[in-house]
Amino acid sequence: MPSEAFLDIDRVAVRYGSTPVLHDLSLAVGRGELVALLGSSGCGKTTLLRTIAGFLSPTSGRLRIGERDITRLAPDRRDMAMVFQSYALWPHMSVAQNIGYGLKLRRLDRAAIRAKVEDLLAMLGLAGLGERNVTALSGGQRQRVALGRALAVDPEILLLDEPLSNLDARIRQTVRHEIRALQRRLGITAIHVTHDREEAMVMADRIVILDAGRIAQAGPPERIYNQPASPFVADFMGADNSVTLEADLDGASVVIAAGADHAAARLARDLLPTANTLPGQGTFSLRAFFRGEAAALVAADEAVTGDETEALLLTGRVLAVSYPGGVWRHEVAIGERHFLVDDATCHAPGDAVAVRLPARHLFLFPADGTTKPRGG
């Protein structure tokens, strides 16, 4: 969390009729920070963005920019600009007219508008296209025009409502880097709504994961990815494989008892990225989450079994193999569960294998779902 909040969202609640959507949500955004609101459909991220913009009014709570209370201000008095998923460009206008539209509404003289628009065209890689009709542009170019129109009015805060979701994958990767570079260059504060995990990781200074109208975890991308605070966050951030284990916690180690589909293991707590979510001692059922790309496959007769200190070994059988590029993707049956595990070596369907899960890539949580909260 930034040491000094520029945008301060203080215990904001929003309802649609009698249905609560945001639950006393608090978030502080620093000046010049790009925060990504990440989550699945219906989690409240777009509702939060629209509340910040002034299109929705909170049922309780406050919003401030610096010392200025904006909770009840109209959208056009908040010094914000939004870039929409649908571009929302005027189809009968040229590129330059679309970018300069907000400046025209503010009654700037033509020379000032022309100069501002030319600067933005150059900055956005659209030089020479000012007189072209926006309907003659590619999707990536249209999104740059929409971004230029938003930036033309020099907003204090830029709001991005899934602006890249209509672009194909190759163009999306290019435009996301362009937006990030431009945001850093201008030092503008930005709130970016997305359901795309990779997009949030690449663009944001800080990610806020929402779940059912509450913040599940907030922090820098690398922390969210490597130290998920809950099973929900681990699953959402790609660690969607999980197994249940019985373990004794003795303070320095997590001692996992052997089971029908896994070997005994003694994992040092200082190797476990989620060690601080676990109780200090006692016997517990745990859920272990892991990403397929973090695992390694070895033939069952080559696996090292016994008291592993740096990894957990699961035993299973290969059901199917595919080659998505760079690695072999294996569907592995472990007990009644099926997992996708990537490995550089191809193992044939029917092979008995061990899945080796390094402790540093293993996210352990109490099976009852209770965890210690972590923000940041």
Task: Answer yes or no: are the C-beta atoms of 162 and 195 closer than 8 Å.
Answer: yes
d(CA 75, CA 180): 24
pLDDT value of residue 306: 52
pLDDT at 358 over 60: yes
Quick: pLDDT tens for 63-111. 999 999 999 999 989 999 998 877 788 899 899 998 998 888 888 888 9
DSSP 11-24: EEEEEETTEEEEEE
pLDDT at 189 over 90: yes
d(CA 197, CA 45): 14
pLDDT at 137 over 90: no
pLDDT at 376 over 60: no
Q: Which residue has the tokens 């997305």?
A: 194
d(CA 108, CA 129): 22
Task: Answer yes or no: are the C-beta atoms of 44 and 213 closer than 8 Å.
Answer: yes
Quickly state the pLDDT bin for 2 (edges 50, 70, 90).
Answer: low
- In residues, how long is the chain? 376
pLDDT value of residue 299: 86
In 10 A of CB 372, how many CB atoms?
A: 12
- Look over the chain and give the mean of its residue pLDDT values, rounded to a whole number: 89
CATH of domain 234-366: 2.40.50.140
Q: CA distances (Å), 184 to each of 47, 85, 189, 255, in order?
A: 26, 21, 9, 46
pLDDT at 3 over 80: no
Residue extents of the structural domains in the chain? 7-232, 234-366
Residue 257: both structure tokens together? 């008892």
pLDDT value of residue 226: 95
Q: Does the predicted TM-score (pTM) go above 0.85?
A: yes
DSSP state for residue 258 in the 8-state scheme: P
Q: What is the mean pLDDT of residues 364-369?
A: 83
pLDDT at 19 over 70: yes
Q: How much of the chain, in percent, has pLDDT values that exceed 90?
A: 56
pLDDT value of residue 304: 62
Counting beta carbons within 10 angstroms of the beta carbon of residue 264, is it exposed (0 to 12), middle (13 to 18) or buried (19 or more)?
middle
pLDDT at 190 over 60: yes
pLDDT at 292 over 60: yes
The sheet carrying 19-29 orders its strands as 19-29, 7-16, 60-65, 68-69
pLDDT value of residue 123: 86
pLDDT value of residue 308: 64
Q: Do domains 7-232 and 234-366 have the same CATH topology?
A: no
CATH topology of domain 7-232: Rossmann fold (3.40.50)
Quick: pLDDT tens for 312-344. 999 999 999 999 999 999 999 998 899 999 888
Largest CA distance in the chain: 79
- β-pair type (281-290, 363-366): antiparallel
